[in-house]
């Protein structure tokens, strides 16, 4: 996106990509339909970001969800708003959008060099770095230099490193004194030590229509049992407070409501109406619990599930488990951390490295899934590119 904005302003632009093709993370996001942005008002959207700094707010107001949807339509990919307010391309895929986008960049004479990993900058005689001379390692192992008037770094966080964002840039900037908040897993699942029997039967099975509460925040949706723990919307949405609690206390309590549509009193009444000869499973299925939810109830009580309705009903509404670890960062949807906003000016230029801008997940902001991640990546790219255009235009 930064390359497109720069090229439209008449600048000669080269994109250096260390993988063998571009857009791999966009294609990965497309597997879920490419939730490209969200339809909620911009003021509400700003509240979704952990660091709604003036520059991040300026980026989102300067290139809004409406602008992003118009941009998609110009590329032949009109968008629609889903039932939850999330926005998707009509094709529900990333490939057509990326193909049209690359064709546009080609028309704008943007050069793309794949198989080039950025290593930093060439040294000056005084020991500093020359930010106009970038160094790259090519796929074959040879090193080259590239000269540039201005640079935008868009190297991602550290999630899904196989598609390109491996966080190796952190040391390069930190060695130059740039403050970088530690990259950490965000929008990710939790690690849990399930019993072999439980995970053998229910690994990969969704826990449908449950609510998960962390602290005072309750999120409804479907979670998924995995061999390593739990994933899914209600877990991803609360990964930040889970992570913060683990950092502060060493663990975090998750409370599951396995029947969020009924009150404790309603559950008690329905359980009390059960047939005396019903098995426990039959009784629980009769009040609407799925086999996976029943199995979770057994798992978290060491199969000591009470039959008394006054004891069982509150348990179904508030089944607890202690979590001590999140999924590793390479399994996370996104990452928290990155270049501190205090290191950046209002157009995302690194203050101590004039002419070097950053965009996307390299910057220290965090947001939930729902289109917010891609929107902020696009918006910060536009802001950085506009800043770069102004920088180049400055008189010597």
In order of their start, the domains of the chain are 2-186+332-393 (3.50.50.60), 190-326 (no CATH)
Residue 196 confidence (pLDDT): 96
Which positions ≥6 away from 292 have C-beta within 8 Å?
A: 202, 205, 206, 207, 208, 225
> Beta partners for 193?
none
Q: How far apart are CA 327 and CA 69, in angstroms?
A: 32
Residue 273 confidence (pLDDT): 86
Nearest-CA neighbor of 169 among 315, 367, 353?
353
Question: Which H helix or E strand runs over 62?
Answer: helix 54-62
Nearest-CA neighbor of 35 among 94, 97, 102?
94
Positive or negative, the CA dihedral 390, 381, 154, 137 is negative
Q: How far apart are CA 184 and CA 338, in angstroms?
A: 9
SS3 191: strand
Residue 50 confidence (pLDDT): 87
Nearest-CA neighbor of 250 among 177, 311, 323, 310?
323
Per DSSP, the chain holds a count of helices (H) and strands (E) of 15, 19
SS3 174: helix
Residue 140 confidence (pLDDT): 87
Nearest-CA neighbor of 152 among 3, 4, 10?
3
The pTM for the full model equals: 0.92
Which tens digit of pLDDT belongs to each residue from 289-332?
Answer: 999 999 999 999 999 999 899 999 999 999 999 999 999 999 89
Q: Which residues of the chain have pLDDT under 50?
A: none
User: Which DSSP category does 234 fall into?
Assistant: H
């Amino acid at each position: 996106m930064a390359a497109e904005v720069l090229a439209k302003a008449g600048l000669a632009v080269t994109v250096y990509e260390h993988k063998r093709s571009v857009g791999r993370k966009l294609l990965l996001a497309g597997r879920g339909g490419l939730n490209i942005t969200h339809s909620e008002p911009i003021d509400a959207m700003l509240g979704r970001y952990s660091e709604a700094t003036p520059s991040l707010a300026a980026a989102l107001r300067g290139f809004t969800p409406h602008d992003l949807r118009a941009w998609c339509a110009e590329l032949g990919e009109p968008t629609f708003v889903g039932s939850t307010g999330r926005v998707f391309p009509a094709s529900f895929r990333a490939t057509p959008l990326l193909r049209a986008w690359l064709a546009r960049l080609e028309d704008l004479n943007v050069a793309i060099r794949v198989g080039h990993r950025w290593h930093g900058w060439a040294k000056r005689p005084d020991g500093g770095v020359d930010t106009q001379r970038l160094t790259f390692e090519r796929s074959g192992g040879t090193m080259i230099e590239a000269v540039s008037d201005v640079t935008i770094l868009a190297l991602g966080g550290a999630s899904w490193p196989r598609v390109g964002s491996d966080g190796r840039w952190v040391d390069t900037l930190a060695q130059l004194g740039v403050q970088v908040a530690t990259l950490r897993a965000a929008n990710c699942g939790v690690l849990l030590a399930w019993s072999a029997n439980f995970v053998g039967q229910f690994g990969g099975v969704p826990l449908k229509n449950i609510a998960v509460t962390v602290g005072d925040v309750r999120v409804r949706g479907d979670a998924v049992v995995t061999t390593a723990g739990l994933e899914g919307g209600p877990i991803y949405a609360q990964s930040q407070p889970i992570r913060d609690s683990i950092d502060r206390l060493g663990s975090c309590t998750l409370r599951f409501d396995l029947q969020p549509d009924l009150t404790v009193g309603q559950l008690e009444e329905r359980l009390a109406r059960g047939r005396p000869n019903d098995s426990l499973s039959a009784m629980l299925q009769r009040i609407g619990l799925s086999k996976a939810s029943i199995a979770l109830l057994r798992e978290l009580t060491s199969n000591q599930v009470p039959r008394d309705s006054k004891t069982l009903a509150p348990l179904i509404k508030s089944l607890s488990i202690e979590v001590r670890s999140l999924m590793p960062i390479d399994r996370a949807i996104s990452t928290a951390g990155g270049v501190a906003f205090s290191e950046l000016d209002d157009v995302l230029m690194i203050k101590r490295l004039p002419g070097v801008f950053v965009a996307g997940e390299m910057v220290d902001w965090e947001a939930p899934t729902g289109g917010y991640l891609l929107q902020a990546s696009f918006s910060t790219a536009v802001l950085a590119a506009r800043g770069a255009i102004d920088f180049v235009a400055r008189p010597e």
